[in-house]
């Protein structure tokens, strides 16, 4: 029985990792109008996205975990504030409040400014996670209210953050603040580049280098096997994540 629980937990963890890394890649590459699965297979998704994503949100994850396991949380045990006016209102009208939250989430995702809207989506996902803690099968799987709340909040927020961070990094690159620029002369590329209109390095997938030519506002895809060398330099205007 223990082996079965371990195998199921391992499978769930693997599936969740695949979902999170896929969201990051689709958020990043989708901003350039590219479907990353045209270049790599599903089996390569985790290796391409896990470390860049984790590195970009390491401090946020640490802060979330610390705040969740902070012993001072015992001052507000599960159900400890259930009798105040706000809690009573929430329990009485939770369906309406959840519906309004889902509408707000959809409107922000569709009409909000890029890439801020994806970080606002994270905020609106929190009530959804709270609602899920009351599902019977999740209560059976995780009887502890604090554990259940932590797992659901953390899982949904990290998944939403994966897409949002990918979008933010891509948007920063489109605005000329990506981490790496391409020396077109040193790389012997037939592209125009200057301080105002640099050529940025987007990434390396499969056998291709992907660049962004800001002068032409277009993505350039190069076959890596046909490029003698690609000279990259640090961008002094790079955004810090």
Q: Give domain status of residue 91, yes or no.
A: yes
Q: Give domain status of residue 240, yes or no.
A: no
- Percent of the chain clearing pLDDT 70 (strictly above): 75
* 170 lies in the same domain as 128: yes
Q: Give domain status of residue 65, yes or no.
A: yes
Rounded Cα gap, residues 133 and 43, in angstroms: 32
The reported pLDDT for the residue numbered 148 is 81
- pLDDT single digits (tens) 104-139: 989 998 998 888 899 898 888 888 888 888 878 878
128, 156, 174 - which closes a domain: 174
The reported pLDDT for the residue numbered 63 is 58
**What range defines the domain where residue 163 resides?**
2-174
* 189 lies in the same domain as 165: no
The reported pLDDT for the residue numbered 61 is 58
Rounded Cα gap, residues 150 and 194, in angstroms: 49
* 121 lies in the same domain as 35: yes
Q: Give domain status of residue 239, yes or no.
A: no
* 36 lies in the same domain as 136: yes
* 81 lies in the same domain as 191: no
Rounded Cα gap, residues 163 and 123, in angstroms: 14
Burial-class residue 147 by CB neighbours within 10 Å (0-12, 13-18, 19+).
exposed
Give the chain as a DSSP string: -HHHHHHHHHHHHHHHHHHHHHHHHHHHHHTTT--GGGTS-GGGHHHHHHHHHHHHHHHHHHHHHHHHH-GGGGGS-TTTTTTSHHHHHHHHSHHHHHHHHHHHHHHHHHHSPTTHHHHHHHHHHHHHHHHHTT-HHHHHH---HHHHHHHHHHHHHHHHHHHHHHHHHHHHHHTT--SEEE-TTTTT-S----SSSPEEEEEEETTEEEEEETTTTEEEEEEGGG-S---EEE-TTPPP-
Q: Give domain status of residue 156, yes or no.
A: yes
Q: Compute the average pLDDT of residues 207-235.
A: 87
Residue 14 CB contacts under 8 Å (≥ 6 apart), including other chains: none
* 155 lies in the same domain as 218: no
174, 193, 210 - which closes a domain: 174
For residue 203, say if its preceding peptide bond is cis, omega within 30 degrees of 0: no
- Ranges 37-46, 54-63, 87-96, 112-121: which has the least confidence: 54-63
* 164 lies in the same domain as 185: no
* 92 lies in the same domain as 203: no
* 145 lies in the same domain as 223: no
pLDDT interval class at 171 (50, 70, 90) = very high
- pLDDT single digits (tens) 91-103: 676 778 888 888 9
- pLDDT single digits (tens) 64-79: 555 555 554 444 455 5
Rounded Cα gap, residues 149 and 151, in angstroms: 6
Q: Of residues 73 and 237, which shows the higher confidence score?
A: 237
Q: Compute the average pLDDT of residues 83-91.
A: 65
148, 174, 200 - which closes a domain: 174
* 206 lies in the same domain as 134: no
The reported pLDDT for the residue numbered 239 is 65
Q: Give domain status of residue 84, yes or no.
A: yes
* 144 lies in the same domain as 197: no
* 52 lies in the same domain as 150: yes
Per the structure, the count of domains in the chain is: 2
């Amino acid at each position: 029985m223990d082996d079965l629980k371990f195998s199921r937990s391992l499978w769930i963890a693997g599936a969740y990792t695949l979902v999170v890394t896929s969201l990051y890649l689709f958020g990043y590459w989708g901003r350039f109008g590219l479907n990353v699965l045209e270049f790599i297979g599903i089996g390569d998704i985790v290796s391409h996205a896990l470390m860049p994503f984790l590195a970009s949100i390491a401090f946020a994850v640490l802060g979330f975990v610390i705040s969740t396991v902070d012993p001072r949380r015992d001052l507000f045990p599960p159900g400890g504030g259930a009798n105040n006016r706000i809690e009573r209102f929430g329990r009485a009208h939770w369906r309406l409040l959840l519906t309004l939250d889902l509408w707000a989430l959809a409107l922000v995702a569709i009409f909000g400014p890029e890439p801020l809207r994806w970080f606002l989506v994270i905020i609106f996902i929190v009530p959804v996670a709270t609602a899920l803690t009351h599902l019977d099968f999740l209560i059976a799987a995780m009887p502890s209210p604090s554990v259940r709340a932590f797992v659901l909040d953390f899982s949904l927020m990290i998944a939403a953050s994966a897409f949002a961070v990918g979008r933010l990094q891509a948007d920063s690159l489109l605005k000329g603040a990506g981490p790496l620029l391409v020396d077109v002369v040193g790389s012997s590329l037939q592209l125009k580049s200057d301080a105002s209109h640099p050529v940025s390095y987007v990434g390396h997938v499969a056998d291709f280098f992907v660049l962004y030519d800001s002068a032409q506002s277009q993505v350039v895809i190069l076959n890596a096997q046909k490029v003698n060398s690609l000279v990259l330099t640090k961008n002094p205007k790079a955004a810090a994540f």
